[in-house]
Each structure stands twice: as C-alpha cells, then as structure tokens.
Amino acid sequence: MRAYPYRMETYDGAPEPSTEPDAEQPDAAQPAAEEPAAEEPSKLLPVAELHLHIEGTLEPELIFALAERNGIQLPYADLDELRARYEFTDLQSFLDLYYANMAVLQTEQDFADMTRAYLVRAAVAGVRHAEIMVDPQAHVSRGVPLETCVNGVASVLANSLEEFGISTLLIAAFLRDLSEESALEVLEQLLAMNAPIAGIGLDSAEVGNPPAKFERLFARAKEAGLRRIAHAGEEGPPSYIIDALELLDVERIDHGIRCMEDPELVEHLVEERVPLTVCPLSNVRLRTVDTLADHPLPAMLAAGLNVSVNSDDPAYFGGYVDDNFVQLETVLGLSEFDRVRLASNSIRSSFADEDRKAELLAELGHS
Ligand SMILES: [Zn+2]
C-alpha cells in the first residue's frame, strides 16, 4: 500500500500527484475499451466523494510547512518521525494524532491552503463533486475562532467548480465524544453567522457515544433546513445505524459496514436505498477489518446495498479515492460493472442539485 500519494518538497499549494496528470481527459468516464493489463489500473470514473474530513487531508509535508509558517514547534524531529506515528491500533489511536496535528491550523490562510491541496489532489482522483466535513469544535476548543476555520475552508470551496471542476458542499461535523450542549452551541453560532453549510454530521469516537445523545442537535438542524448525516456502524454496533436513522433522521450513514451483522437491518437499508459511505482503506488502517481482502464491500454490493467508496482521512489512511479504487480492483478484483455502480451510487446519493447529478451521471454514461 502506498502510504503517501504525493510529495511536496516545499508546500506551494499545488502538490504533485503521483498518478497520471492527464486523468481528467474527456473520455475518462468511458469504460476501458480493452481489458487493462494487471499493472495498469483502469481509467478513473467521475465520482462524488461523500465522506471526507478536510482535517484528514493534512499531509505530513503540509503539517511541517504550516508549523514553520506559524512558528509552531512540532513534537517530531522530521517527516520520517511523523510518518512513523501513522501505525494505528484503533480509532482512538488515530484520533490522538489527528487532533495533535491540527495545532498547525491557525489562520484562514492555513485552512484555505489545506482545502486547496485536497481539491488539487481530488481532481486527479476523478472527484467531480465533494461534500466536505469540517470539525468546528476541534478548532474552537483550541482557541481558533469559528469564523477563521469556516471562512478559510469556504473561501476555497466557493470557487471549486471553476478552479478544479469539482462542485462542493460544506458539512459541519460534530464530535460525538463532546456534549450535545457543546454541539448545539456551535450549531447556533454557525446559524447566526449564516455559515455556508449544507448540513451537519457526527464523527469522532463512536463507541459509548450513541446517536441518542444527539437527538436535539439533529432536530434543530432539521428545523434549520440542514441535511443530516452521521457516522455509525464503523466500530459501533449495528444498533447505532438503526438509531441514527430513527432518532436522528439522517439521510446517509457514514461507514455502516457493521450492518452486515444484522440481516434484518440490511434488508431495511436495501429497501430504503439508504446510502452508506464506505471507506475501505480507512477500515484497514483502523483495524475495523484485518486486511482489505476481508473487507465486506463485495458482500455489501452483492446484498444490493447503496454503497459508495470514499477516502475519509486520506492523508492518514493510505490514499485518496483513486487509491481506494485501485486497491479494491487489485486485491478484491472489483469489476468494471461494480466500479461504475459505485460511482453512480456516489453521485445519486449526493446532496448536489438535480442538474449537477444529471450532468455527472451523463458523464458516467448513466443518463
Ligand atoms: Zn469519517
């Protein structure tokens, strides 16, 4: 598994991707005419990335560049020492490093640079629409004003279609290990400042922080006309998926892989076409599955579940959406038919407007 998709000698806002730079050629959406050679991955399909934490795109090179710009002393001597910390034993061990690294994000420019770096890389990965989560509480709690974080990310997203060919929406995700009061307070601030958010999400440490804890938050978001998603069934039990749907009235489940332990739940999710934003490389890195070969994605597809493939926190988990697809093809033998189905699911399950969805589906060859 390739640990880092690109390297930046010095950060200039335009990381050099390791994949072919001509990936956005007009025929990228068409199925390959010939069976690709084993060494040569299939062409990229246009996809929507629905499960992406912008803080999880913070590459080690950018962490060092921002630390230098802000005069922050990192607890790592060099890039290699930082990279050595990327061996996780579970979700919490990842979260500890993830939050520690956020210390380098101080100014609007920092948030904007991080966002721009993701979009540059995502464009190469075939992403044509992205719904990007930001964790406001993770920044407010360390003294960064809410406006700094939201405006920094939003300023780049505002021109993402023109600049990168990627339509985008911003989602404010709340940390489930904090209190509902804290989440409600930040949500009210976001609404008061008229923040350009399309919806809310629920992330961070799942086990012991069930959906029921956030019923008032999600009711308030619904009342305010916001879309609703939540992480559930990653490390937490299948009952968290049921509760997220029933108590929080979410429109999508992030991860959801543990639904496979409950056949009745699978039947319900298939019937209702509930989107599950699956993140295969993330699941391997966080040991939710032992190896990619053990991943339930093929079984989920076979069951008729509405699954898509996403990168979650790509800087930490070994790759972006294209890396996930390449690995799925190589390790699990994912077929062209299934790749197109996953791409189509991602577009249909997005919160993009109908015109944009139709445009992307036509590009995929599914009008
Ligand atoms: Zn996630």
54-101: pLDDT as tens digits: 999 999 999 999 999 999 999 898 999 999 888 888 888 888 899 889
Q: Report the separation in Å between the CA atom of 254 and the middle of ligand 1, taken as the mean of its atom positions.
A: 7
Are 221 and 238 contacting, i.e. CB atoms less than 8 angstroms apart?
A: no
Neighbours of 247 (CB within 10 A): 17
User: Any bridge partners for residue 264, and if so which?
Assistant: none
Question: Helix, strand, or coil here: 158?
Answer: coil
C-alpha to C-alpha distance for 268 and 167, rounded to whole angstroms: 31
Q: Report the separation in Å between the CA atom of 363 and the middle of ligand 1, taken as the mean of its atom positions.
A: 27
Q: Report the separation in Å between the CA atom of 214 and the middle of ligand 1, taken as the mean of its atom positions.
A: 17
Are 49 and 309 contacting, i.e. CB atoms less than 8 angstroms apart?
A: no
Neighbours of 35 (CB within 10 A): 8
Q: Report the separation in Å between the CA atom of 261 and the middle of ligand 1, taken as the mean of its atom positions.
A: 20
C-alpha to C-alpha distance for 235 and 321, rounded to whole angstroms: 21
Look up the CATH superfamily of 43-351: Metal-dependent hydrolases (3.20.20.140)
Mean pLDDT lowest for which of 27-36, 256-265, 319-328? 27-36
Q: Give which of 270, 294, 274 is closest to 283, Cα–Cα.
A: 294
The residue extents of the domains of the chain are: 43-351
Q: 114-153 pLDDT, tens per residue? A: 999 999 999 999 999 999 999 999 999 999 999 999 999 9
What would the mean pLDDT of 249-268 be, rounded to a whole number?
98
**Predicted confidence (pLDDT) at residue 53 exceeds the cutoff of 50:** yes
What pTM was estimated for this model as a whole? 0.89
Q: Report the separation in Å between the CA atom of 203 and the middle of ligand 1, taken as the mean of its atom positions.
A: 6
Q: Report the separation in Å between the CA atom of 121 and the middle of ligand 1, taken as the mean of its atom positions.
A: 18
Q: 218-244 pLDDT, tens per residue? A: 999 999 999 999 999 999 999 999 999
Catalytic center residues: 234
